């Protein structure tokens, strides 16, 4: 019985069209339905009373915006639970984050939402207005219903192991000082910041292959090409993240003067935000990773990489072009975000100028296979208002393998005269330091890791906004970790961090 109720999204519309043609009045409810509780039962039974057919559409796993560890139950289990209810006629899992596509599929006569959504300001995603418009386009009406209210998120977060206990404790403490609405207002205030991102533009090419084994003669790994995609990385990825939160964000980097580079940058960067310098003497940086296909629930397996990187530093004349471009615009911004991957943009004259002129300077000076041991933060830079680095980069900056991380991190912060700094230690913890405040420590929120590439850039991007806005270190670490939790569920830099998802996740966690 329940199997007949669950329809595939691709074929469901035809079923509902036929029901409408037969004069049946269709009612639709949409949500996550991660943990069915009495509030859901009352809501669905009340909805069924408004028509002949009740269709429940639920957001598919990868598009759920409830925070780390969610949904707790997968698509198949949630669909089965809903289909088992007598009042539910059909269930469809929707492969989109918002409800517009679900409404377009069902075209309901009546679309039901909980009474809490009567005030659109209660929806951090801002999607309710779009839902209402879509319902009305198809001639339907929206009804706000519900007599018994429970929260699946509260029940799961408090009583299930969706998120680690240490994260719950951190969120509970932060929530006692910052309400979900205060958090939302703080994030919304980022929009007024004028931001300049300076740094190395990188294009990440993911080449998906199926490993077939070793060749018989030369013992070389043999693979079959499956697919390939090119993603905006480096400072361009940082720009995309920040653009989700701020109205004015410009990018200044170096590119080769070739048609491919111009086309790729134009795909991801509006012309009015493009302050990049192009030159024939510079090779556009490409980092190609050969990986096995994605497997649900598994971390992406990377085999090896091939990089297109300039062997020599830029000619002094090219550095002068970059410096001139920086000098002509830097006074127009509140925040200058430096994404230094050690590939040629941030040469010494540019570094010294930005240190002197930036009104607020956020720094990420990265170590990678191409610059290992050379692009060290306290050898390249003299100051920053805030900075982010990982464990390996801290070890290199202190020139020792074993240390008290907190003590050495505090020393480095003092050397750079920084107001705030973050040390990300992978799966261990993130440490936030801010002058005049106690250290803020938070372990990773998301344990289901798909790809760690780009997670540090996502953390840094939004934490920099928090620091420039004067938020507490506790808050900047929280916001940064929310971004990182999103990023590890995305392949590389395929998509930027979603502001609405970050808002919804953060507000949920602060309301534990």
Distance CA 245, CA 240 (A): 9
* One domain, residues 330 and 478: yes
Instruction: Using DSSP bridges, classify how beta strands 53-59 and 26-31 pair: parallel, antiparallel or unpaired.
Output: parallel
Count of C-beta atoms within a 10 Å radius of residue 55: 28
Query: Tell me, what's the pLDDT at 219?
Result: 82
Share of residues in the chain with pLDDT > 70 (%): 94
**Six-digit token pair at 217?**
């003669």
Q: Which residues of the chain have pLDDT under 70?
A: 1-3, 66-67, 69, 119-126, 147-162, 512
Other C-beta atoms lying within 10 Å of the C-beta of residue 3: 8
**Whole-number average pLDDT of the chain:** 90
Whether 118 and 265 share a structural domain:
no
Residue 98's pLDDT is: 82
Strands (DSSP E) contained in 60-200 are 90-94, 110-114, 141-145, 194-199
Are 143 and 149 in contact by the 8 Å Cβ rule? The answer is no
Residues 181, 186, 187, 189: is their CA dihedral positive or negative?
positive
pLDDT at 159: 46
Same domain, 27 and 71: yes
- The three-state secondary structure class of 202 is strand
Q: Which domain holds residue 192?
A: 185-198+241-278+311-509
Q: What is the pLDDT of residues 348-379, one digit of tens each?
A: 999 999 999 999 999 999 998 888 878 999 99
Last residue of a domain, one of 152, 175, 209: 152
Q: How far apart are CA 487 and CA 84, in angstroms?
A: 35
Vertex 237: Cα angle to 233 and 243 (nearest 5): 165
CATH number at residue 440: 3.40.1190.20
- On whether residue 231 sits in a domain, the answer given is no
Query: How many domains in the chain?
Result: 2
Same domain, yes or no, for 100 and 193?
A: no
Asked if residue 84 belongs to a domain, the reply is: yes
Predicted local confidence at residue 495, as pLDDT? 93
The answer to whether residue 203 is domain-embedded is: no
Burial classification of residue 184, based on how many CB atoms lie within 10 Å of its CB (0-12 exposed, 13-18 middle, 19 or more buried): middle
The first and second tokens of residue 9, run together, are: 């999204």
Q: Are residues 376 and 425 both part of a single domain?
A: yes
Is residue 474 one of the residues assigned to a domain?
A: yes
352: how many CB neighbours lie within 10 A of its CB? 13
| pLDDT score of 97 | 83
Both 193 and 133 in one domain: the answer is no
User: Exposure of 155 by Cβ count < 10 A (0-12 exposed, 13-18 middle, 19+ buried)?
Assistant: middle
Question: Could you tell me the pTM of the whole model?
Answer: 0.78
pLDDT at residue number 268? 93
In this structure, are 320 and 406 located in the same domain? yes
């Amino acid at each position: 019985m329940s199997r007949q109720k669950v329809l595939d999204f691709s074929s469901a519309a035809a079923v509902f069209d036929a029901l409408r043609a037969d004069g049946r009045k269709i009612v639709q409810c949409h949500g996550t339905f991660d943990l069915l509780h009495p509030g859901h039962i009352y809501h669905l039974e009340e909805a069924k009373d408004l028509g002949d057919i009740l269709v429940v559409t639920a957001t598919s796993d990868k598009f759920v915006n409830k925070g780390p560890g969610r949904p707790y139950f997968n698509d198949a289990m949630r669909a089965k639970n809903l289909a088992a209810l007598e009042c539910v006629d059909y269930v469809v899992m929707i492969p989109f984050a918002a409800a517009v596509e679900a409404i377009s599929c069902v075209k309901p006569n009546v679309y039901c939402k909980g009474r809490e959504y009567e005030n659109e300001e209660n929806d951090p995603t801002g999607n309710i207005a779009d839902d209402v418009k879509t319902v009305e386009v198809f001639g339907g009406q929206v009804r706000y219903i519900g007599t018994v209210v429970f929260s699946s998120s509260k029940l799961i977060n408090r009583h299930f192991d969706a998120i680690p206990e240490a994260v719950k404790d951190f969120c509970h403490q932060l929530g006692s000082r910052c309400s979900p609405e205060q958090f939302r207002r703080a994030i919304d205030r980022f929009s007024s910041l004028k931001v300049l991102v300076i740094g190395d533009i990188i294009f990440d090419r993911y080449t998906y292959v199926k490993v077939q084994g070793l060749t018989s003669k030369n013992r070389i790994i043999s693979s079959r090409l499956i697919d390939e995609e090119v993603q905006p990385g480096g400072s361009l990825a940082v720009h995309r993240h920040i653009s989700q939160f701020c109205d004015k964000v410009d990018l200044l980097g170096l590119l080769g003067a070739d048609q491919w580079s111009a086309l790729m940058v134009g795909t991801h960067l509006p012309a009015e935000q493009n302050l990049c310098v192009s030159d024939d003497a510079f090779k556009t940086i490409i980092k190609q990773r050969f990986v096995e296909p994605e497997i649900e629930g598994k971390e992406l397996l990377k085999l090896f990489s091939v990089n297109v990187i300039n062997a020599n530093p830029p000619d002094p004349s090219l550095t002068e072009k970059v410096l001139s471009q920086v000098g002509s615009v830097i006074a127009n911004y509140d925040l200058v975000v430096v994404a230094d991957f050690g590939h040629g943009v941030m040469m010494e004259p540019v570094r010294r100028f930005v240190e002197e002129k930036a009104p607020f300077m956020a720094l990420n000076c990265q170590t990678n296979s191409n610059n290992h041991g050379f692009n060290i933060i306290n050898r390249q830079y003299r100051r920053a208002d805030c900075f982010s680095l990982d464990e390996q980069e801290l070890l290199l900056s202190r020139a020792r393998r074993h240390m008290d991380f907190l003590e050495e991190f505090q020393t480095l912060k003092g050397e750079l005269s920084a107001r705030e700094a973050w040390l990300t230690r992978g799966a261990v913890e993130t440490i936030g330091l801010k002058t005049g405040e106690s250290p803020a420590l938070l372990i990773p929120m998301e344990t289901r890791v798909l790809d760690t590439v780009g997670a540090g850039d996502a953390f840094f991007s939004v934490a920099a906004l928090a620091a420039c806005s004067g938020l507490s270190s506790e808050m900047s670490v929280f916001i940064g970790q929310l971004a990182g939790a999103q990023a590890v569920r995305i392949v590389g830099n395929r998509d930027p961090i979603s502001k609405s998802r970050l808002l919804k996740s953060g507000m949920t966690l602060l309301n534990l």
